[in-house]
Amino acid sequence: MSLVEIMGELEKLGTAQTRKTFRTHGAPTNCYGVKIGDLKKYLLKKVKDHHELCLELFATGNSDAQYLAGLAIDSKKMTKVEITSWLRQSSWSAIDETIVAGVAAESPFALELAREWLAMSDSKSQNVGWLTFGKYLSIQSDDQIAQVEIEQLLQRLKKEIHMAPNEIRYSMNQFIIYVGSYYTNLTDIALETAADIKEIEITLATRGCRLPNPATKIQKLKDHNRLGIKRKQIIC
């Protein structure tokens, strides 16, 4: 299918209620409001692994097209330039945090990009940097993880989290959960970090949203004997 045909299908699948829900959480006006389940059911097979089409979809700036592109792309075939471009083109934080960070973490440039983004001063890059690193831990074997580097990031997090922008506080909290859940060498340190920083002040999209508690999330995995079990893929 062509880009025009896919965009037409996306528009047909969108609903006013889903658009309203997405916009409540920060989605841009360039959003048809397509449920993720419908993206997978009706369009994913038509787009999957069509690399250039995925790039074209993402470049539209349409939120639904960008999510579909992230579902369909083969992350391992993405170049560093293409992933960096996706970060610039991403239309809102949900795409940053799920698609851009997920694709980056699954790519051959995961650590390189995460480190570069964490060294940048803008909150968008830092936010995706923390999540890319965390998601990388969830799929990478422990022998490929530098423990000292993770410990240093947790120390940095403790110093910065209460002064960080809202979205970065959220991603830092997620990073603690990723470390404690997927890299068991530092599960105890992750829990100590969460205890040290105590309560995090954060503004979430709606009253019904809650900041995940690292100790609760990690304990739940422990109770089900799932600590340290790596994910097969991130974007699904």
- CA 169 – CA 211 distance, rounded (Å): 10
Least confident interval from 56-65, 123-132, 134-143, 203-212: 203-212
Give the pLDDT confidence score for residue 153 in this predicted structure. 98
Least confident interval from 17-21, 76-80, 232-236: 232-236
Place of tokens 């947790």: 154
Express each pLDDT in 10-38 by its tens digit.
999 999 999 999 999 999 999 999 999 99
Pick from 125, 133, 139: nearest CA to 154: 133
Does residue 236 surpass a pLDDT of 90? Answer: no
Place of tokens 């936010």: 127
pTM assigned to the model: 0.95
Q: In degrees, to the nearest 5, what angle opens at C-alpha 202 toward C-alphas 229 and 226?
A: 10
Q: What is the mean pLDDT of the chain?
A: 96
Does residue 220 surpass a pLDDT of 90? Answer: yes
Least confident interval from 31-45, 184-198, 208-222: 208-222
Does residue 204 surpass a pLDDT of 90? Answer: no
Q: Check: CB of residue 214 under 8 Å from CB of residue 191.
A: yes
Express each pLDDT in 186-203 by its tens digit.
999 999 999 999 888 888
Outline where DSSP puts E strands in 11-123: none
Neighbours of 153 (CB within 10 A): 22
- CA 91 – CA 96 distance, rounded (Å): 8
Give the pLDDT confidence score for residue 144 in this predicted structure. 95
Give the pLDDT confidence score for residue 208 in this predicted structure. 62
Q: Check: CB of residue 178 under 8 Å from CB of residue 223.
A: no
Residues 6+ apart with CB under 8 A from 192: none
Residues 6+ apart with CB under 8 A from 33: 14, 15, 16, 17, 18, 19, 20, 21, 22, 64
